[in-house]
């Protein structure tokens, strides 16, 4: 079946620290992979995506590479800011069907 | 461009009262529509999804129901709310082939049942 396993939080970092949030997946076929971000009190926004193996999604300084050999899609940012404080969700969309599969979310707090 | 509207933004309802949350999408046709719930401090739970008018798939048996009376309108309802229905409700849409394009979420409704 399809599932997403995401790094447990919460994560607290100092400003300008390096961020990694781990995400691994189980899927049949060749899914598309996504990272969503949820700022406090808001809905989810698409942060980045990758649709095939070795693709790198990037946006706002965040990056994630679709690694088929390790079934992973880890989120990274070289230097976090206070404004990056949010909950981050990894998600998988199978290449057939209409449903997405979300991880449980990782809360990130960046302190000045 | 496509937009998704969800209302109300916040709602406080007594136990046993009815519920109606509405979601509409503009700028597209035949979207897939979804209702998710996010309980405090927890992840996303898919409640319902719809691939067309009158077509509703339920993922979790519960006190809620969904309807899609028009192509771009998705309604979440309850006849009698429970305390456990409190949470953050999110509507989302995707193109018919959403796997490639991802979901677009509404801004959410925070429901508190008292």
Given a cut of 90, is residue A21 above it in pLDDT?
yes
pLDDT in tens, A26-75: 998 889 999 999 998 888 999 999 999 999 999 999 999 999 999 999 99
**pLDDT(A88) > 70:** yes
Query: Chain B contacts of A86, Cβ < 8 Å?
Result: none
Q: How big, in percent rounded to 5, are the helix, strand and coil portions of chain A? A: 5, 50, 45
The conformation of residue A83, written as its DSSP 8-state character, comes to: G
Q: What is the pLDDT of residues B54-100, one digit of tens each?
A: 999 988 867 899 999 999 999 999 999 999 999 999 999 988 765 66
DSSP letter string over chain B? --EEEEE-SEEEE-TT--EEEEEEEES-SS-EEEEEEE-TT--EEEEEEEEETTEEEESS-SS-EEEEEETTEEEEEESS--GGG-EEEEEEEE-TTHHHH--EE---EEEEE-
| Residue A2 near residue A92, CB atoms below 8 Å | yes
| Closest by Cα among A7, A8, A14, A9 to A79 | A14
Mode of pairing for the β-strands spanning B87-94 and B104-105: antiparallel
For position B98, what pLDDT does the model report?
A: 57
Residues of B in contact with A96 (CB under 8 A): 99
| Inter-chain touch A44–B90, beta carbons under 8 Å | yes
| pLDDT value, residue A2 | 87
A94 touches chain B (CB under 8 A): yes
Determine if the peptide bond prior to A10 is cis (ω within 30°).
Answer: yes
Looking at residue B78, its pLDDT comes to 96
* Residue B69 in contact with partner chain A when CB distance is under 8 A: no
Of B90, B98, B100, the CB nearest to A43: B90
């Amino acid at each position: 079946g399809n599932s997403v396993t995401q790094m447990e939080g919460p994560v607290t970092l100092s400003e300008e620290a390096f961020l990694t949030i781990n995400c691994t997946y189980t899927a049949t076929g060749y899914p598309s992979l996504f990272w969503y971000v949820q700022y406090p009190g808001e809905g989810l926004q698409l942060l980045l995506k990758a649709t095939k193996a070795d693709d790198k999604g990037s946006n706002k300084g965040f990056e994630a590479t679709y690694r088929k050999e390790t079934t992973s899609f880890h989120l990274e940012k070289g230097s976090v800011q206070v404004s990056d404080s949010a909950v981050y969700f990894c998600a998988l969309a199978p290449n057939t069907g209409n449903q997405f599969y979300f991880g449980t979310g990782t809360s990130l707090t960046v302190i000045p | 461009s496509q937009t998704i509207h969800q209302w109300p933004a916040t709602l406080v309802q007594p136990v046993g009262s009815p519920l109606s949350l509405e979601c509409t999408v503009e700028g597209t046709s035949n979207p897939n529509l979804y209702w998710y719930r996010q309980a405090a401090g927890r992840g996303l739970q898919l409640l319902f999804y719809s691939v067309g008018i009158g077509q509703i798939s339920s993922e979790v048996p519960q006190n809620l129901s969904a309807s899609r009376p028009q192509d771009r309108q998705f309604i979440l309802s309850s006849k009698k709310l429970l305390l456990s229905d409190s949470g953050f409700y999110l509507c989302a849409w995707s193109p018919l082939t959403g796997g490639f394009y991802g979901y677009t979420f509404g801004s959410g409704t925070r429901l508190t049942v008292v």
